[in-house]
Structure 1
Amino acid sequence: MNKNISRFVCSALLSLPLLVSAQERKLVDYVDPFIGTGGHGHTFPGATVPFGMVQLSPDNGQAGWDWCSGYHYSENHIAGFSHTHLSGTGIGDWLDISVMPLLYPLKDETADIRATFNHRNEKASPGYYEVELDNKIKAALTATERVGYHRYQFPNQSIPVLRLDLGFHLNWDSPTETYVKVLDDSTLVGYRYSTGWAKVQRVYFALRTSQPFKEAILAGHGVQSAQIKAAKTEEKGKGISAQLVFDEQQKNIEIKVALSMTDENKALQALGEIGDWNFARVKNEAADKWEHELQKVQVSSSDEKLKRVFYTALYHTCIAPSLFSDADGAYKNASGNVLKMTNNNQRYTVYSLWDTFRALNPLFTITQPEKYTALLNSMLAFYDENGLLPVWDLSTWETNTMTGYHAIPVIADAILKDWPGIDKEKAYKAMLASAFQTGRGVPEYIKYGYMPQDKMGHSASVTLEYGYDDWCIAQVAKKLGKEEDYRKFSKRAQAYQHIFDKNTGFMRAKNSNGKFVVPFDPYLSEHDEVKAQYVEGNAWQHSFFVPHDVRGLANLYGSHSKLSQKLDSLFSVKSELTGGNTSPDVSGMIGQYAHGNEPSHHIAYMYSFLGEPWKTQERVRQIVDSMYHDQPDGYAGNEDCGQMSAWAVWSIAGIYPANPASSEYVIGSPAADEVIFRPGGGKELCFKAINNSKRNIYVQEVRFNGKKYDKTYFTHADIINGGEIEFIMGEKPNKKWGKKKDSWPQSAIDSE
């Protein structure tokens, strides 16, 4: 066998028992959708397929921050099963088209219909959810891209009822207009318009039952099935409900609920995604879709817990963005315009960009070769519709949530990696629109070179984030040959230098008069958009957000070693926060490092920019081991639409995009013995950790395709075509490895 070929099979003889074992146990078996439903993870356990429009999941009927997904593991009530859910966010919305099985028809529409349950009688796996309620009704859920498929079993001495509640809402969401129409004795159509985090939301549905119902009770008005054509069979209002009453002998009822964001007719067409009544087949097909996603990354480890953590994390990276268009690419946006994607693209929504630009989107450039073009072009479609790239796109509405304009690093990363199917000139024009917009304090930022606190809150965070986004624009300008723009945005990218306080060693809010805001407390965290100097955090967490110029930041401290010492302090100081309204997002603490929120996610990798990669290895392994586990509270904070999970996927493998638009992945400390990425086209990228263990956390040596490799990072071009990376691990740090400057990841200051 050719030696080069033998490297690419990644020690096949040694791995053979593991591969056989993997064939016996599917990867979906390692996924636990309940991970993240406890603590502050804010995930949901219900049925969905990768990036699907439908997320069919139980709702507890409880409001509150920890019920942003509609469900929290601490609860034992279910109020219904709705068809749209957000995964891991910090704001509650959606929960559209709720269905609840009942033992008897309701006489009082205002009655509490919540049913209790025990977690012992609850199961979930990718694409499937089931529960037996304490009243003995059994519910099972599965889904396709646009259809939620329900199966209900009713106990004896019941009159089976399925209640459709278009008024159901929690937290930020509330209905503004709802409509239902009975077409025949097994089909309903309608819509739910609502407002909330996204001010305009429209969801259309078509519901079909496996058995005819004998009566439909619309908002309290009963219609016998025999009278449907003659009687009033539609209702409109703010919170319309419909009780579908079945024959007492019919104890097994299935329903299909199809969604469209365009109109009811498109919802009826979407019912065709499931052409028969074979629940087991649809469930298996959903599992197969998930298995296809999970097979893109093969993990070998004797640690079963680590594999559950890893594959659940990989699962969570494939839920958002969510499908928004019909099969033909059509959709109705927040402005009410019916539009259509071109070139066989689909439209997606749920862009939590303040979170996902850091690790999830770079991961997509490896794991989503088929879908990422559509995800990117959906952002450009948003630009076409609104004149700006999205900040936080929900149901095509700009929520303007969080700071920065972080569609820019996502698109920049794609352009710099030569991602196909993107109009680069149009994308660049869209970037400039965001960078010169008249809102979000951008004119003040340009005028002063930083964001003045007395002009807009979050001065320190906004300055740092705009500066990074500007660096991304500069790199694209350089690639496209726009030298003047390259120089302009490279200068803007140094905004961080204007707010650094050398006396305290922190980035601080500054007023328009050039003076720092006083008093100053680096432990202060105020969850307030007007007076807070940092968004969802404090000076400790935000002062290190200069991923494009770590060594330029070190120069402000006086030396690389002094910045390294400051990073050491971050991990060792007290974990308490001060302030009367501290942000609940600041969680997962190691000192003042807060893994439960995204601004900290790159920090452990900064040591490698300073010639001390062994410190990166030490901290990364500590974070992996302490901040992720396989229980409902297995995330340190909001899962945030895949970002918290993407950090784990990268770091368990052994690398991380510390500067997410640099096309570089910094080496950390691999936790798994072997991880194989399959980026498409039959290629495989194999990471092997030799002598790996809980104690052997330090990299002694790296080999790339059999040759000694001295850099502390890999480029996208290095790895996208596949190959074998070997990390030789040991119990003690090798402080010589990665010490030389020519082995360090790039920093903007180096090109000055």
Structure 2
Amino acid sequence: MKNKFLIILASILVISCAKKTEDQVDSNTNISSFVDPFIGTGGHGHTYPGATVPFGMLQVSPVNGVSEWDWCSGYHYSDTMAIGFSHLSLSGTGIGDLADIIFMPTNKAFDLSANPMSRDSIAYKSSYNHKNEKATPGYYQVFLEDSSVNVELTTSKRTAYHKYTFKKGDSQSVIVNLGAAINWDKAVETSIKVEDEYTISGFRFSTGWAKNQKVFFVATFSKPILNYKLYADGKLANKNIVKGAKTASQLFFDAAKGDEVLAKVALSSVSVANAKDNFDATEETFETTKKAAEGLWNAALSHIVVETPVDSLKTIFYTAMYHAQLAPVTFSDKNGQFRLENDSIVTATNYTAYSTLSLWDTFRAEHPLLTIIAPDRVSDMVNSMLAYYDTKKILPVWTLYANETNTMTGYHSIPVILDAYRKGIRGFDAEKAFEAMKNTMMQDDRGLIHYKLYGFIPYSLLDESVTITLEYAYDDWCVAQMAKELGKEADYQYFLNRSKAYQQIFDKDSGFMRGKSVDGKSWNAPFDPKHSNHREQTDYTEGNAWQHSWFVPHAVDDLIRIHGGNEIFASRLEKLFTESSEITGNNVSADITGLIGQYAHGNEPSHHIAYMFNHADQPWRTQYWARQIMDTQYNTTPNGLSGNEDCGQMSAWYVLSSIGLYPMNPASGEYEIGSPIFEKATINLPENKTFVIEAKHVSNNNFYIQSATLNGKTFTATSLSHKDILKGGTLHFVMGNKPNKNWGIKKNTQQ
């Protein structure tokens, strides 16, 4: 009954969205049919094609078994070999981990005592063909050629469903491998127990990117287990439970009782008992779960409904909407419990705890997008950050399975919290949040001791000093704004003053942000703005001076001033896009991808830059370059993303930019106006309100704004507030093939 209710509710949501927006799509259209989960699985996208639900705990997906950068999710489209199907996957990250609890159906018995040193020595691996592979939101299917088994996967929020169809008369078995690992991950202690003829359970403790990851699982099968073999560290055991660094099992089933074997799997970070509690109700089946997952995705995708006669644009847009709602992932169990990095078990009371917070990436557009399409989840994400703060008294940098990875620079949970509070999201303790923000920026770790002492980070004291200084300056501005919101004047003034640190490292002669010495006068030399040295002996994080010198989203007008005014600033900004794309150095960062000139869309530091022309009184250049990026950096192939997806950021950029908006300063509560690509986009808001963005005459050539109205009144501003969107209404653009250099100019603007 619960499942039927979800399907009906999701259908009502989709149909009502169609009615409210008066769109031309039939009300019975399955929006999820526009999604292609294979987009981003090729190139450097690092996405996975497997089954999950919006922000779900499980991501059940194929594992190729290759430990290389482009296999960070466990899967790459260039590959056609599988070693199994795991239950946890990363979407688009630049570091690989997870791929936990691997199941592999097969039609032969194998000796699992050997310790494979590579995929080549895994005896039960199987080839597959992309022609016999399918993925839709909440569902994945592939035919394993070596064993002649058809694999289907689906999932609910906390329970995965496997459906294996064997060739008639073939032997039927499932291998469970807890020792298998990819990339940075390594199993340190595992266990498998055959509880009864239908049930197995166990755990997998590992170290890797997440240094202390503990996963407990339980699985039930549709048939009795006729026989089984259990292995621990290469030794066959004659009992129903094994423990070791690496354990594995092969379970055998009766082929006479039908061609299908179904498995139902649940996980927990806490215990096997909690994993059992996380199981769906017994009446749920593979088919009802698959339909429910489709319904959940249709509801999630319908938060923004776009209209265009170009189906490929719908595919890119709705796939981006899909990717933007894969992470963060649900981490707390049904009873609210979850494990922290120090192994303490805490309970999320009145909220859902989330993990996989890729904050260096997602604070830029992913989290602002969620305040529009999933505002009910935002306070839970903030509460999750505050729960992590409780353990170390520092806000998280990049959390993976509740572990602080300390990956990347800055403390960008801070702008996420400010953005939520400014937009009226109040489901968290604001005073505690401010305490966390302030204490985080007042501690000494990760270069803050130097930042506080010198007012910037000298290049001789810490690598990536320029990037870190710029990002700390922005975080300081966010703390100042939160202090202002809460009436803390002294804190406001203190952090506002610190947020001007970017002025200390700006070289007015070259126009770049540069590494400065401890004397506060001399620059790091020799200087080549195109030079990249990946993560060591460099002043910039995964980039160069061209890409990092523009990160002052909180004070763009002052940045323009210190450049020398609008014309000099805009000229230098234009040169970013038209300069040659040569990157110099012997250790160039692999993350510098998606190049347009020196602009690198494949990595997040560039994402706000095209929208800065608006502040220099040249909004037509923002319109031009935003459209160029959309047209050249996204497509419908597996190589459809120009860089790591990074847990939704790459896609969130497209979602917002394609409807004509972008949060250049992601904690400002404002969206810059760009160039809408759709004839009509309808944002479905709470309280049955809608905000509609129309673009009359828009086409491949007509991407310049000629004029605009907001709710029927002339609109010439180059930004729009979140508050205005929440009011509902219509923003109407008239588009043309030539720039209107009078629209959006400060002296002419009104709203």
Q: What is the CA deviation profile of residues 641-678 of structure 1, one whole-angstrom value per residue up to 9, with x for unaligned ones?
A: 00000000000001110011111101000001111111
Q: Which residue of 1 aligns with 2:193?
A: 181
Q: Which residue of 2 aligns with 1:613?
A: 619
**Structure 1 pair 471/732, CA: closer, same or farther in 2 (3 Å)?**
same
Q: CA deviation at 1:155?
A: 1.3
Q: Which residue of 2 aligns with 1:58?
A: 62
The alignment status of 1:258 with 2:258, answered yes or no, reads: no
- Counterpart residue identity of residue 677, structure 1: I
Query: After alignment, is 203-212 or 105-114 more displaced?
Result: 105-114
Q: CA deviation at 1:277?
A: 6.0
Q: Which residue of 2 aligns with 1:521?
A: 528
- Counterpart residue identity of residue 127, structure 1: G
Q: Which residue of 2 aligns with 1:326?
A: 333
> TM-score, normalization: structure 2?
0.94
Alignment root-mean-square deviation, CA: 1.8
Q: Which residue of 2 aligns with 1:281?
A: 288
Find the aligned partners of 2:434 and 2:240 in 1 and give their Cα distance: 52
Find the aligned partners of 2:502 and 2:287 in 1 and give their Cα distance: 56
Which blocks of at least 5 consecutive residues in structure 2 are unaligned? 1-15, 115-121
The alignment status of 1:730 with 2:736, answered yes or no, reads: yes
Query: After alignment, is 420-429 or 109-118 more displaced?
Result: 109-118
Q: CA deviation at 1:369?
A: 2.3
Matches within 5 A, 1:115-264: 115-135=126-146, 136-219=148-231, 232-250=239-257, 251-264=259-272
- Counterpart residue identity of residue 268, structure 1: K
* Counterpart among 501, 505, 508 of residue 511 in structure 2: 505
Q: What is the CA deviation profile of residues 355-405 of structure 1, one whole-angstrom value per residue up to 9, with x for unaligned ones?
A: 000001111111112211111111111111221110001111111100111
Q: What is the CA deviation profile of residues 217-249 of structure 1, one whole-angstrom value per residue up to 9, with x for unaligned ones?
A: 1017778xxxxxxx7210000110011011232
SS in 2 for 1:202: strand
Find the aligned partners of 1:16 and 1:215 in 2 and give their Cα distance: 59
> TM-score, normalization: structure 1?
0.94
Q: What is the CA deviation profile of residues 730-750 of structure 1, one whole-angstrom value per residue up to 9, with x for unaligned ones?
A: 1111100111257499xxxxx
**Structure 1 pair 401/684, CA: closer, same or farther in 2 (3 Å)?**
same
Find the aligned partners of 2:494 and 2:387 in 1 and give their Cα distance: 27
Contact 1:42 1:69 in 2 (8 A): yes
**Structure 1 pair 384/14, CA: closer, same or farther in 2 (3 Å)?**
closer
Q: CA deviation at 1:32?
A: 0.4
* Counterpart among 589, 597, 604 of residue 595 in structure 2: 589
* Counterpart among 477, 482, 492 of residue 486 in structure 1: 492
The alignment status of 1:431 with 2:437, answered yes or no, reads: yes
Query: After alignment, is 736-745 or 553-562 more displaced?
Result: 736-745
Contact 1:712 1:744 in 2 (8 A): no
Q: CA deviation at 1:15?
A: 7.1
Q: CA deviation at 1:147?
A: 1.2
Query: After alignment, is 132-141 or 27-36 more displaced?
Result: 132-141
**Structure 1 pair 162/585, CA: closer, same or farther in 2 (3 Å)?**
same
Contact 1:139 1:150 in 2 (8 A): yes
Find the aligned partners of 2:643 and 2:304 in 1 and give their Cα distance: 24
SS in 1 for 2:541: coil
**Structure 1 pair 722/389, CA: closer, same or farther in 2 (3 Å)?**
same
Q: What is the CA deviation profile of residues 292-335 of structure 1, one whole-angstrom value per residue up to 9, with x for unaligned ones?
A: 10111101001100000000000011111111111121112121
Q: What is the CA deviation profile of residues 518-552 of structure 1, one whole-angstrom value per residue up to 9, with x for unaligned ones?
A: 111100111123x1110000000000111111121
- Counterpart residue identity of residue 199, structure 1: K
Which blocks of at least 5 consecutive residues in structure 1 are unaligned? 1-9, 224-230, 746-752
SS in 2 for 1:208: strand
The alignment status of 1:337 with 2:348, answered yes or no, reads: no
Q: What is the CA deviation profile of residues 491-539 of structure 1, one whole-angstrom value per residue up to 9, with x for unaligned ones?
A: 111111100111211000112122211111100111123x111000000
Q: CA deviation at 1:407?
A: 0.7
Q: CA deviation at 1:679?
A: 2.3
- Counterpart residue identity of residue 290, structure 1: W
Matches within 5 A, 1:628-643: 628-643=634-649
Contact 1:368 1:679 in 2 (8 A): no
Matches within 5 A, 1:655-674: 655-674=661-680
- Counterpart residue identity of residue 258, structure 1: A
**Structure 1 pair 446/38, CA: closer, same or farther in 2 (3 Å)?**
same
Q: How many residues align?
A: 725
**Structure 1 pair 463/302, CA: closer, same or farther in 2 (3 Å)?**
same
**Structure 1 pair 248/605, CA: closer, same or farther in 2 (3 Å)?**
same
**Structure 1 pair 243/276, CA: closer, same or farther in 2 (3 Å)?**
farther
The alignment status of 1:689 with 2:692, answered yes or no, reads: no
Identity of aligned residues (%): 47
Find the aligned partners of 1:164 and 1:188 in 2 and give their Cα distance: 10
Q: Which residue of 2 aligns with 1:226?
A: none
Q: Which residue of 1 aligns with 2:36?
A: 32
